[in-house]
Amino acid sequence: MANPYEIAYQQSIHDPDSFWGEAAQDCHWYKKWERVFNDSNAPFFRWFAGGELNTCYNALDIHIDNGRGDQNALIYDSPVTDTIKKFTYRQLRDEVAQFAGVLASRGVQKGDRVIIYMPMIPEAAIAMLACARLGAVHSVVFGGFAANELATRINDASPKVIVSASCGIEVKRIVRYKPLLDGAIEMAEAKPKCCIILQRPMETASMIKGRDIDWNEAMSKAEPHGCVPVQSTDPLYILYTSGTTGQPKGVVRDNGGHMVALKWSMKAIYNVDQGDVYWTASDVGWVVGHSYIVYAPLLKGCTTILYEGKPIGTPDAGAFWRVISEHKVKALFTAPTAFRAIKREDPDAGLMKKYDLSNLKTLFLAGERLDPDTLHWAEKHLGIPVIDHWWQTETGWGIAANCMGIYHFPVKPGSPTKAVPGWDVRVVDPDNKPVKAGEIGALVVKLPLPPGSLLTLWNNDERYVGSYMEEFPGYYKTADAGFIDEDGYIYVMTRTDDIINVAGHRLSTGAIEEVLADHPEVAECAVLGVDDQIKGQVPIGFLVLNAGVTRNHDEIIKEVVQMVRDRIGPITSFKTAAIVKRLPKTRSGKILRGTMRNIADNKEYKMPATIDDPVTLNEIEEALNHIGYAKARK
């Protein structure tokens, strides 16, 4: 007999109208949709066309109307400022309505764009929800982005208003936002009508008369604004993909499909209900923060945590356990890189034992491939299900996951389990032909994409088709490579440009990384394919060791080389690795493999706008020099 997952999955693929129509009944609509799914302008598919709603009403007001106004909606926990502040649904709704009034008083209306350039503070979420309340389109840019990168987004979105703060805090360092914002506006051709600036106590920004408005002053004078009905197909937000250069790619999300899919996913994937405390340890500047710090938990009626801190260093590697214990978190969602950092600093999980984690039922990880070593470490010390899942900025929510609210499958290390209902995942070769079970190829999704995924790119339908639909006709190109086994489990091994060709053998760098990560003294690692005159490409590894390891580095390198030879085979030609203090990453925790590969191959590269610490690239170059690459190869 089919299990509940199989029933749900088959219905979602073969009868999406009834599947998503039923899910949409759980939301508030001012006017019901005319069609659940509209494919009249493929590949620009639309969901719930003709329906009218307001996302902010569904995230806040509806819970107050249903008698849950005194429940906590948002908990702001900031170890970097030693602050904890809680907002009930009523308090959060009132703040959002007031700020919607501020925006409206500055001429912001339905369809206008507002850029939000803020740190991890409640006002960032308030500004997002206020835009949704008015039917305005918000575009959150990660706080602290370089001025030129912010300028390209200003030019693309043409915002009427920019909302920002005087500064952000990176552990013990203050990042002054206002000079970056002023520089970006000076560079940009599109100019906002005004900027609304929140002055934080640790940094007072200089204000430009006639353009800049103080957040608190404006709030004290504003009139609360109600919810403005919008079409289901109207845009809710634009989110620019991280690491873009030149003309940015602005992913467009709608109101109706986004609301339905995200609310449904909270129970189906994460197994949380209204009233539960749910924590996504990410940033509102990334898609994870949009989907699972702000919108999905509030749509579901959960209590969401907005955390201004790090997994380590604020103050130590027990930071996450303190938050979970203090706020009684039921489900945690973060990136594998956060857990690798915790594991590196506290390999025996001694700090974990100081806290009561009895409320924590599940840990969800996404953003980078979850290596089996980190999976097993988390399982061993937490004693709860650890769920890998796979998704992207473009998809907005999980493509593949162990759907804990539908059916819990046995975990297979290295796999995010099966396709989530709505996502028809396939594996194809470069000629767009399906490959056999277990064979590596391009991971693609058969069109149409489910609700909640990107509609197009802002002001660039042609680039949307070219970037995602052309290479594999009939499919969405994920740009990830992997395979599906005979049980239907999906394995996401690497980005398609990280499949390397070693003397005619197609190899996944992710598979080699999996072996390296299994060494007991390796905290995290990265493998690159670099140019080789004889074999075309060869893999080289970078290893970050656990804290306190003092053993000879050459011995450790010999051991990992032998492990790869034993487990994958000599065909890998894996012969060298470098030990580094840290890996270069984006602020969201993704390793900058492409940039590292360019350094190794002596190619020019642009400093990525999303890099967490540029010094790490110098360390990579030094390590490459030491093992005979980079400058030595010129």
On whether both 135 and 189 belong to a single domain, the answer is yes
**Average pLDDT, rounded, for the chain:** 92
Q: Domain check: are 139 and 110 in the same one?
A: yes
Q: Is residue 427 part of a domain?
A: yes
Same domain, 117 and 244: yes
| Cis bond upstream, residue 235 (ω within 30) | no
Whether the Cβ atoms of residue 69 and residue 63 lie closer than 8 Å to each other: yes
The total of structural domains in the chain comes to: 2
Question: Using 50, 70 and 90 to split pLDDT, how confident is the model at 113?
Answer: very high
Give the H or E element holding residue 265: helix 256-268
Q: What is the pLDDT of residues 143-168, one digit of tens each?
A: 878 888 899 999 999 999 999 999 99
Task: State yes or no: pLDDT of 524 exceeds 60.
Answer: yes
Task: Read off the tokens for 211.
Answer: 């353009």
Q: Which three-class secondary structure state does DSSP give residue 100?
A: helix
Q: What pLDDT does 565 receive? A: 84
Strand partners, 35: 49
Strands 113-117 and 137-140: parallel
189-201 pLDDT per residue, tens:
999 999 999 999 9
The whole-number pLDDT of residue 497 equals 64
What is the rounded distance in angstroms from the CA atom of residue 429 to the CA atom of residue 442? Answer: 6
**327-349 per-residue burial string, b: 16 or more CB within 10 A, e: under 16:** bebbbbbbbbbbbbbbbbbbbeb
Per-residue pLDDT reduced to its tens digit, 311-340: 999 999 999 999 999 999 999 999 988 998
The two tokens of residue 428 are 């194809």
- Cβ atoms of residues 44 and 461 within 8 Å: yes
- H or E stretch including 138? strand 137-140
User: Locate tokens 């590949």: which residue?
Assistant: 43
- 55 three-class SS: helix
**Domain boundary residue among 453, 482, 511?**
482
Q: pLDDT for 377-425, tens place per residue? A: 999 999 999 999 999 999 999 999 999 999 999 999 999 999 999 999 9
Residues 448 and 557 in one domain: no
Strands 425-428 and 441-446: antiparallel
Global confidence as pTM: 0.86
Label residue 264 by pLDDT band (50, 70, 90): very high
Which residue blocks in 478-591 are alpha helix, DSSP H? 509-517, 553-567
Is 208 inside any structural domain? yes
- Residue among 199, 216, 202, 212 nearest 161 (CA): 212
Among 308, 320, 314, which Cα is nearest to 121's?
308
Nearest to 395 by CA among 240, 289, 253: 253
Residues 290, 175 within the same domain: yes
CA distances for 497 relative to 242, 393, 449, 533, 606, angstroms: 17, 18, 23, 19, 18
Q: Which helix (H) or strand (E) holds 212?
A: strand 212-214
CA distances from 231 to 106, 110, 167, 489 (A): 23, 10, 36, 37
Say how many C-beta atoms besides its own lie within 10 A of residue 582's C-beta.
17
Here the tokens at position 548 are 């306190």
φ, ψ for residue 419 (rounded to 5)?
-60, 135
Residue 227 lies in a domain: yes
The CATH number that applies at residue 158 is 3.40.50.12780
- Please give the span between the terminal C-alpha atoms of the chain, in angstroms, as a whole number: 63
Residues 215, 174 share a domain: yes
Could you tell me if residue 555 is inside a domain? yes
In a domain? residue 326: no
What's the confidence (pLDDT) of residue 620? 85
**Closest by alpha carbon to 119, among 175, 70, 67?**
175
Any domain includes 382: no
Measured over the CA atoms of residue 308, residue 310, residue 313 and residue 316, the dihedral's sign is positive
Assess whether 249 and 116 both reside in one domain. yes
Go through 448-485 and write b for each residue having 16 or more CB atoms within 10 A of its CB, e for each that does not: bbbbbbbbbbbebeeebeebbbebbeebbbbbbbbbbe
Indicate whether 512 belongs to any domain.
yes
Return the minimum-mean-pLDDT range out of 234-248, 255-269, 450-464: 234-248
- The verdict on residue 327 lying in a domain is no
Residues 508 and 468 in one domain: no
* Residue 337 parent element (H or E): helix 336-345
User: What b-and-e string marks burial along 360-369, b requiring 16 or more CB atoms within 10 Å of the CB?
Assistant: bbbbbbbbbb
Given a cut of 50, whether residue 447 has pLDDT beyond it is yes
Q: Which pair of structure tokens corresponds to residue 461? A: 């339908």
In this structure, the answer to whether residues 474 and 531 fall within a common structural domain is: no
- Whether the Cβ atoms of residue 561 and residue 576 lie closer than 8 Å to each other: yes
428 vs 573, residue with greater confidence: 428
Within this chain, do residues 476 and 515 fall inside the same structural domain, yes or no? no
pLDDT at 632 over 90: no
The answer to whether residues 463 and 541 belong to one domain is: no
pLDDT tens per residue, range 230-242: 999 999 999 998 5
- CA within 13 Å, CB half, 2: 9
Q: Are 333 and 292 in contact (CB under 8 A)?
A: yes
**Quick one: pLDDT at residue 31?**
98
Residue 550: domain span: 503-633
Instruction: Identify the CATH number of the domain in which residue 599 sits.
Output: 3.30.300.30
Per the structure block, which two tokens stand in for 56? Answer: 């902010």
- Of 451, 482, 513, the one marking the end of a domain is 482
* Domain endpoint, select from 435, 451, 482: 482
Helix%, strand%, coil% for the chain, nearest 5:
35, 25, 40
Q: Are residues 117 and 235 in the same domain?
A: yes
With CA atoms as reference, report the closest residue to 241 among 285, 180, 281: 285
User: How far lies 221's CA from each of 105, 115, 120, 213, 214, in Å?
Assistant: 10, 22, 25, 12, 11
Q: Give CA–CA dist 233/376, Å, rounded.
A: 43
Which two three-digit tokens encode residue 398? Answer: 């999980």
| 244 pLDDT higher than 60 | no
Whole-number pLDDT of residue 245:
41
